[in-house]
Structure 1
Amino acid sequence: MAIHTDDLISCPARITLDAAQLAFFNELPVDAPSVQTELSCELEQGHEGSHAALGQQADTTMWWIQWTLSASEINPFTWCPVKQQPGVPDRDDLECTLFAGHSGKHSSTRRSWHSEEAA
């Protein structure tokens, strides 16, 4: 599979993390920027299922906050395996920056939403 370059609109949903969620992210053993208290959904507009935003990355695990109108939770995921240009060693702007198994279309680090195509 490859990432296609037609721009789409991202989901406008936002979440404000509570004190327990912020404490969880801040206790992860990782040298990373401070966690933002308000996050935007990183999936494409009109996606199915819960909203999702990357909270923190620790080694190869990405901790994503997922939420609906009634609940939220933090879940560990790995990177989505879809690549824009197979065989290129640098992940910047070349691979989907979402989690494996995400709903909807794929995204590059430019936050443009892309449709999936066969490689």
Structure 2
Amino acid sequence: MTELELLPLCDVQTALTPAEHTYLEDLPDPAHEVVAEQRCDLQRSHAGSHVSLGQESAGTSWWVVWGAEGERPCTREAEATARLYQMEDCPA
């Protein structure tokens, strides 16, 4: 039997603003506790913006999206206009 080798995660972090933290805490039916210091959930050395799961609530995932130093963050569709990005949960 072989051990499962996990890919290393990006180690870049960002702090939620007080407004972002409050917004995520106030969502209905939260799935978990809000973490003030968000760590990127992507693989180390990834290209593009950093993302972390901020909260899941009532069938919706709220992601925190931020760019590298001095860069505007981007989502799948376009340049992000805010750091909190909403996506519906996968129906599968």
Identify whether the pair has TM-score above 0.5, normalized to the shorter chain.
Answer: yes
**Match for residue 77 of structure 1?**
87
Identity of matched residues, %: 31
Structure 1 residue ranges without an equivalent (≥5): 82-88, 90-119
Aligned residues: 78
Larger relative CO (CA 8 A, sep 6+): 1 or 2? 1
Give how far 1:79 is off. 4.6
Task: Note the aligned Cα RMSD (angstroms).
Answer: 2.4
Looking at structure 1, the residues matched to 30 and 7 of structure 2 have their Cα atoms a distance apart, in angstroms, of 32
Question: Secondary structure of 2:20's partner?
Answer: helix
Q: Does the CA-based 8 Å contact 2:15-2:38 persist in structure 1?
A: yes
Structure 2 residue ranges without an equivalent (≥5): 73-81
Looking at structure 1, the residues matched to 22 and 14 of structure 2 have their Cα atoms a distance apart, in angstroms, of 16
TM-aligned CA distance change 1:31 to 1:6, over 3 Å: closer
Q: Deviations over 1:79-113 (max 9, x none)?
A: 568xxxxxxx9xxxxxxxxxxxxxxxxxxxxxxxx
What amino acid is the match of 1:34?
E
